[in-house]
Every structure is written in C-alpha cells, then in structure tokens.
Amino acid sequence: MNTTAEQDGFQDNDAPVRICLRGIEGLGRKSLAFLFSTQANRRLELVDEHPDAITIIDVDDYRGKAAWKEIQSREPAGRPTILLGLDAVAQQGAVALQKPFRTKDILAAIDSLLKARKPEPEPAAARQDSPKRAQDATTRVEGTGRRPRLSAHAATSLNERELHAFVGSAADVDLDDPAARASIEYSPHRFLAHRLGDLVLSATREDKYLRLSCCDAQFIVDPKKRCIHTDVEKSRLRSLGALPMAGEPARRQKLSAFPDESESQKWQCFSWEALIWRMALACSRGRLPEGTNLDQRYQLKRWPNLTRLMLFPHATRISAAWVASPLSLKEILNRLSLPQRYVFAFFSAASAAGLLVDAATHPPADTMENTSKQQPRQRRGLFRRLLKTLYKKQGDHRA
C-alpha cells in the first residue's frame, strides 16, 4: 500500500541547509537570496519554513519581532536562529548580528549554527518533549517514540516531518491581536499555488489553455482534461510551492492549442486539484492568506477528492463541516475546537483549489436541517471507537 503522503502521486527529495527569513522583505530578502545563490561550497536554500531550517530574523521589523516571540514561546529549548538588529543581542541560543553587518559575518553565523548542531534526536521525539506539543492530542508516540502515529485521521502514515512541511507547527494565536495575526499570515499572490489557482479559474471560464512561465518552470492549465501539465519534476514541486516568488515576473499566455509533442514530450500531467492542494499546503504551512476575513462565511462547493490528495489530520472532519453549511473561520474553529493550523492549512488548500468559496457567491444550498438524523449523538461513542479501530489498523497495516 502506498503511504498516504504519496497518495496524491507526489514525492519529495530532501537535501541542503535550509534557511527561512522572518521580517525580511524586499531588498533585504533579495540580497540574501542572491548571496546564498553565490555560495558554491555551501548549499543554502531559502525556504518558507522547515523544521530543520535556520531562521534569520530582523528584530527591527514588527513581523520579525512577532516571529521571534513566537519561536521563543513555542521552542524554549531554542532553534537555530540569527537575530539581525540595530542593537540585537544574543539570547536563548540565538546568534546576534548588529546592523550593519558584512556578508562574511552572516555566513560565519550560519556556519557556527551548523557546527553547533549536534546529531539530532528523531525530530518527532524531540518535538514531543516540548510542553506545548504534548497538549496537542493529534500525535502520540508509540513504544520507543521512534514512529509517531497520527491518531486523528486516516492519513496514519503521514510522518512527522511531512506533517511539519505541510501543516507547520505554529501554536494558536490570539486572532484579535494584529501583531499575532501578522505572524500567521502569508501573501498568497507571491506563491505559485494561488497563481495556478487563479489560472485554473480563468482557463475554465475562457475554456482556453493557459500557460504560466516562472521560476524556470512552465505550467499549462488544460481545461479539457482538468489537469496541469508541467515540465517540473515531481520532487521539485513542494519546494517550488513553498518558495515565495519575490515579485519575480510571471508570464501568462493564452494558447490556441496545446504545444506540439516536441515541446511537451517530457511533461507530466497532474490533476489540478491535487497539484494546487499540495502546493498550497506547502506555502501555507498552517498559516492564513493575508487579509482573510475571519467573519466572512465560506462553503465548500463539493468535497475535496480526499483519497487522492495530500491528506492531513482533521481534513475529513473540516470538509464535512464546511460542506454542510456556510461557516466563517471563527465559527468553524469554534465548532470543531481544532488547533488553528489545521483549519488554516485546509482553508489555504481548499480555497486555492477553488473548492472553498465565499458563501454569498455560492448558490444557497439546500441546507434544510435533517430532523430525522437523530442517531449521531447517541452513537458518537461508537463512531469514535470505530474510527480508532480504522486508524489503528491503518498504522499496523503499514508497519
């Protein structure tokens, strides 16, 4: 049996030193990206987030400040971090660099963090130790703690690392606090998933092939086959989805016909739902698109094709709630009492894929309450035990 993480047909290759930036935008981000790309003897890769990443934070920026606060509270044991600031001070295991600094200073800081990095314990086990994680009942460690199992959904085989790469690990924040909100937001227009989502909308509306060229990659939305053709290799899709495009010009082009074989021979075709869903999870990592209105009601046009998508904990439950009635983010968080990151990840993926839409634009569904369905509450205990049995077997099945 396939592992669930690969159920949507994609796989990832792991590799280099990953670096993520917080509170560093515009020119700052560009120059660091350039610097890293010129380091032939170090493989430095800018990522949006990653459990093993070194985080570089500009603490003079309010988003950077919020991110640093968040890291401090979430990972008191420390996480490899470089703090940049006019009067940055080293604290809690983080290296500080006072502005202005030179390129060799920041490279030296990265090297020192890499050296300090001891052979790591199993990441899942390490995270399990932190008090915040322990409260979160979505994972539990069996036996030796080497193979954590998700107990909350059918995707038992989604491992901790993948979970981290797609749903993140952000703790819940106070959504009424602007600074806290800023720390869990991303700009959707800077990520490929959302661009492709827009492209799919246009391609369907116009019933035309549309091509998007950017990031050294080509994508052609095919409204007939409801798929996206691309020359990108499977293994690169997640990192491409996770990387902000940093204002890079993307070329959009209408095609009258599909390119002939000489050009598209080596291309692959992915279901657009599966491709966009996966890429959107990679860029969201449990965060919300910037400016999302928490009181606005949304509804699923239909169930996501969960058997063929990157499945993560609670996705089935969230789908059921959002398909049944129009709900705002606040309402759904309230109703399901889930950690925010699962709901935000779902929101990002389902809206990028065009499945979750403004309830006002969605023709009011036949939402009559079905009064005859009295059995659920009485049977909740049974259902819970049944799910547990199904998930447990799923895990055993894999082992």
Contact residues: other proteins, CB under 8 A: 1-2, 4, 7, 151-154, 226, 302-303, 305-308, 311, 314, 316-317, 319-321, 323-324, 335-336, 365-366, 370, 372-373, 375-377, 379-380, 382-391, 393-394, 397
Q: Which residues pair with 91 in a beta bridge?
A: 94
Closer Cβ to other proteins, 187 or 305, answer by number: 305
CB nearer to other proteins: pick between 153 and 164: 153
C-beta of 209 vs 391, nearer to other proteins: 391
User: Smallest distance, Å, CB 311 to other proteins?
Assistant: 7
**Phi and psi (nearest 5°) for 100?**
-80, 150
Residue 114's Cβ-side half-sphere holds a number of Cα atoms within 13 Å equal to: 13
State the nearest-atom distance from the C-beta of 162 to other proteins, in Å: 15
Least distance between other proteins and beta carbon 3 (Å): 9
Rg (CA), the chain: 22
Q: How distant, in Å, are the alpha carbons of 191, 277, 291, 351 from that of 214?
A: 11, 19, 25, 22
Closer CB to other proteins, residue 360 or residue 386? 386
Q: Which residue, 235 or 375, has its beta carbon nearer to other proteins? A: 375
Helix, coil or strand: residue 336: helix
Nearer to other proteins, 96 or 365 (CB): 365
In the complex, minimum distance from the CB of residue 139 to other proteins, in angstroms, rounded to a whole number:
12
- Of 63 and 362, nearer to other proteins (C-beta) is 362
C-alpha separations of 395 from 174, 226, 250, 326, 391 in Å:
35, 33, 42, 34, 6
Q: Which residues, at least 6 apart from 266, have a Cβ–Cβ distance to it below 8 Å?
A: 231
Q: How far is the CB of 357 from other proteins (least distance, A)?
A: 14
Main-chain dihedrals φ then ψ at residue 381, nearest 5 degrees:
-60, -45
Residue 310 beta carbon to other proteins: minimum distance, rounded to whole angstroms: 13
Separation CA 3–CA 255 (nearest Å): 37
Angle at 21 between CA 16 and CA 23, to 5 degrees: 180
Structure-derived torsion over alpha carbons of residues 280, 286, 290, 293, reported in degrees to the nearest 10: 110
Residue 376's CB is within 10 A of a number of other CB atoms, namely 8
- CB closer to other proteins out of 214 and 387: 387
- Closest among 159, 160, 98 to 127, alpha carbons compared: 160
Q: How far is the CB of 70 from other proteins (least distance, A)?
A: 27
Least distance to other proteins from the beta carbon of 342, Å? 12
Please give the structure tokens belonging to residue 278. Answer: 């996966």
